[in-house]
Amino acid sequence: MDNIRLLIDFGSTFTKVVAVDLDRDEIVAIARVPSTVDTDITIGLEQAFKEIGSSVKITETNRRKALACSSAAGGLRMVCVGFVPELTSEAATRAALGAGAKIVGRFSYELSRQEVEEIESISPDILLLAGGTDGGNEKVIVHNAKMLAGSDHAVKNFVVAGNKSAQDEIKIALRDFDDRVYFTRNVMPEIGVFDAEPCNKKIRDIFINHIIQAKGIAKAKAMIDDVIMPTPSAGLEAAKLIANGCEGASGFGELLVVDVGGATTNVYSIASGKPSGGAVVLDHLPEPFVKRTVEGDIGLKYNIATLEELCRARERPQNFDRTIKNLYGGKLPVGEEEIICHDLLSRVAVDTAVTRHVGRLEVVYGPSGQVLVQHGKDLTQVKTLIGTGGGIVFSANQGYVLQGALSQAGNDAILKPKAPKLLLDDCYILFAVGLLSQVEPVRALSLIKKQLKLIQ
């Protein structure tokens, strides 16, 4: 059975394994078992392998060739430090999100002692230090490096992606951190230029080579081929493949993906986001073609109170206030009232996350009169919208939930898709497609094309 490829996601709650028949580009088995990251992560992995083995024979070679991603033990926790909030701080945040990170802190301008203490208490896996265009302001990023040098080694790794003219001083300031300081190209080398890819690569390299050791996954790594990326990166790689295609297979073109989970809602867009209208001016920060945002306050298990508050501004079903209390703690809905309530929560999660992800239009008045300024991406013309994650996949009315991502009449200033085709990743396998795309892109694309279901 050497045609079977095993693809694994080590999550904080569940360990998921997807078995793919590479000869037919089809899923032959899926296992989802509680993660055992707090004790021995391989216990859950062995249980998942056993469950897969009840449906299809897997060999030692299959296990050895398995690829994995991980969000276990809190995922890749990052703090971003920049200069101007709307420029280098925002650019650093986008670069970190694009690498699959969970942003646990963001700071701008010169760090204070109190802010350094806050960073120490967070103790991130990586601190991304940005600031200044190349040849521009050096003072702030050097000051921040010197302040962080006294952080009692609470920061595990540094990635420096700021003004290249300041690198020599930063090396001196952080010399006590030795081999835990990594330099890469400036995420904003000049105003209006966003260069995230080198920073993304450096962050992923650190994750693979260092961080997964500290997360207790090294033992599992000895059983399989490799843990190659954070789970959100796998979702992003899948979205890129579906949109762009690969050599020998065409993709769908520009698209949007919404993933509603228990703790967060991720949104991925693979699109230029350029203005679709006439006289529209772009704001100062360019948008990446490949963009990820994550809403840490929107999840159907851990953040249901936030969703409840958001629902109060909308039309709600009768007995909403009583019914929603039955869904706290991530409980699955039972009965018609709870199902209707759960679907509303899911739709609000989609609506809110996509509204935050897409761009907006603002009327600005200047010397020459009224100007229409676009902040963020214009996704009104995107033709494909893909829904995934438990909040959508397990909904009783998937179309209703996913339609929360669409442009609403009378709110044209929010640049959400107007008339896309709605597709569903009903087997919840985007992570597996992203992993498989790294070694078998044509097969990965064929697999997801077969699996995506059209929502009428």
3-state secondary structure of 210: helix
Sheet with 67-70, strands from edge to edge, namely: 26-34, 14-21, 4-10, 67-70, 226-230
Q: Residues 287-337: pLDDT tens digits?
A: 889 999 888 888 888 888 888 888 888 888 888 888 888 888 777 888 888
Given a cut of 60, is residue 37 above it in pLDDT?
Answer: yes
* pLDDT for residue 40: 78
- Report how far residue 354's alpha carbon sits from residue 421's, in angstroms, rounded to the nearest whole number: 16
Q: pTM of the full predicted structure?
A: 0.84
What is the third-level CATH fold of 76-208? Rossmann fold (3.40.50)
The residue type at 357: H
Quote the CA–CA distance of 438 and 446 in Å, as a whole number.
14
Give the tens place of pLDDT for each residue, 250-283: 999 999 999 998 878 899 999 999 988 778 888 7
Residue range 423-430: average pLDDT?
92
Among residues 413, 395, 290, the alpha carbon closest in space to that of 348 is found at 395
Helices (H), 207-284: 212-214, 218-221, 231-244
The confidence band for 44, taking pLDDT boundaries of 50, 70 and 90, is confident
What residue segments make up the domains of the chain, in order of their start? 4-72+215-224, 76-208, 234-454
Q: Which SS3 state, helix, strand or coil, does residue 370 take?
A: strand
Q: Domain 4-72+215-224: state its class.
A: alpha beta
Beta strand 26-34 pairing with 14-21:
antiparallel
- Going from the C-alpha of 435 to that of each of 65, 69, 230, 280, 430, the distances in angstroms are 12, 7, 10, 39, 9
CB 146 within 8 A of CB 173: yes
CA angle 352/356/359 to nearest 5° reads 130
Same fold, 4-72+215-224 and 76-208: no
| Residue % of the chain over a pLDDT of 90 | 43
Q: What is the CB neighbour count within 10 angstroms for residue 31?
A: 23
Q: Check whether 68 has a pLDDT greater than 70.
A: yes
